[in-house]
Amino acid sequence: MRYLITGGAGFLGVALANHLVNNGHAVRVLDDLSTGDPARLDRRVLFSRGDVRNVPTLWTQLQEVECVYHLAARVAVSESILYPQEYNDVNVGGTVALLAAMRDVGVRRVVLASSATVYGEQPSQPVHEALRPNPGSPYAASKIAAEQYLFTLGKLYGLEAAALRIFNAYGPGQRVPPAHAPVAPLFLKRALDGGSLVIHGDGRQTRDFVYVDDVVRGLAAASQTEAAVGQIINIGSGEETSLRELVRQIAAVTGREPAVLNNTSQGGVSRLVADLSRARQLLDYQPRTQLREGLRQLLAKDPQFGQQRAAA
C-alpha cells in the first residue's frame, strides 16, 4: 500500500513509518517538525516538512496515497490546559483540513491516532469503547472532537475511517522535553541521573503502559483489516499499573532506587486501563511486551539512556 503519515517524524510516527517500509509499503511523512525529528526515519521514507492544516500542501502529499495515518497533533495533557486554543487549532483543525483534502483528492482510507484520555474519570475499569467519554483536558476534548469529525465527515465523504484510542505508549525514541514530559521515560531518566522523581498525587493512580511495538502492530492492523472501518478501538497493554509500581519496575531495571517526592497537586484520573476485547476481536491484537521487558528494551535501545548509563 501507499501511505501518508501525518506527524510521522514523532515518536509513534517514526516507529510506524519504519515498520511499514520494512514490510514493503511505500511511505510518505508530513510533519512540521514542531517537536518531531526525521533523522530516525528509514531512508526509504519520503519526508516533507509542512503543516497538516495547510490544505494545498495536503493535496500534493495525498497524490497516489491509498491510506492516511493521522498522527500530527499537540500531545501533552498538561500543556493543553495552558494553550487550549493551539490544541484545538492543530488537533481539531488539522483533522478537518486533512479530511477535506482527502475528499478533494479522492483518498478514502484513514486511521486516526486518538487517545485513551478521552475516557477521563470512569466509574469502572477496564474501559471499553462504548463508555461515554469524560474528557478532563483540552487535549482529551480535542481528540473527541477529532473522532467526531472523522466519523461525521467520513460518512459524508464516503471515507473508510477508524480511530484507535491509544493508552500510555512508551519506548525508544520518545522525547523527554524539559516540560510536560511523558511519565515513563521521564522517570527512567531521573532514576539514571540520580535526580528525584516527582509524582503528582499519591502515586496510587493507575495507567495502562503499552510498548511502542504493540501500538505499531495495532496501527498497522487497523489499515489492513476491513473490520476496523467505522470503529473506535482501544490499543493498550490491558495491564493496570500504578505510578508507584512503575517506579518499582524502573528501580528493578536500572538497579537504582530513585528518591520520590509526592506533589499534592492533582495526579489526573484515578484509574485507567484498556478493555482490549474489541481490538482482539477486530484486529486480532494481542500485546506482546510486558512493562518490565519494555522498560529493559527502552533502556537498551534508546541512545539517550545509553549515554546516560555510560556517563553514570
Distance of CA 141 to the CA centre of its chain: 15
In the bound state with ligand NAD, the residue whose beta carbon lies nearer, of 77 and 260, is: 77
Name the 3-class secondary structure at 223. Answer: helix
Distance of CA 76 to the CA centre of its chain: 11
When asked if residue 12 is in the footprint of ligand NAD (CB under 6 A), the reply is yes
How many other C-beta atoms lie within 10 A of the C-beta of residue 206? 19
Shortest distance, position 51 Cβ to ligand NAD, whole Å:
4
Alpha-carbon distance of 3 to 188, in angstroms, equals 33
Q: Which is nearer to ligand NAD, 24 or 56 (CB)?
A: 56
Structural contact between residues 150 and 163, judged by C-beta atoms closer than 8 angstroms: yes
Please name the residues in contact with 16: beta carbons below 8 A apart, sequence gap of 6 or more: 5, 8, 69, 71, 216, 219, 220
Of the residues 17, 90, 232, 282, which one makes contact with ligand NAD according to CB under 6 A: 90
Residue 27 CA to residue 10 CA, distance in Å, equals: 15
Residue 52 or 247: which CB sits closer to ligand NAD? 52
Scanning residues 239 to 298, which ones bind ligand NAD (CB under 6 A)?
A: none
* 7 binds ligand NAD per the rule CB under 6 A: yes
The nearest distance, CB 292 to ligand NAD, in angstroms, is 19
170 tagged catalytic: no
For ligand NAD, which is the closer residue by CB, 13 or 294?
A: 13
> Residues 148-187 vs ligand NAD: string with x where CB under 6 A?
------------------x-xx------------------
SS3 content of the chain, % helix, strand, coil (to 5): 45, 20, 35
| Of residues 17-36, those binding ligand NAD (CB under 6 A) | 31-36
- In 3D, which of 194, 179, 217 has the Cα closest to residue 16? 217
> Per rule CB under 6 A, is residue 11 in the interface with ligand NAD?
yes
Q: Give the x/- contact pattern for ligand NAD in 99-118, rule: CB under 6 A.
A: --------------x-x---
Residue 289: strand, helix, or coil? coil
Question: So which residues are the catalytic ones?
Answer: 139
Interaction site with ligand NAD (CB under 6 A)? 6-7, 9-13, 31-36, 51-53, 71-73, 75, 90, 94, 113, 115, 166, 168-169
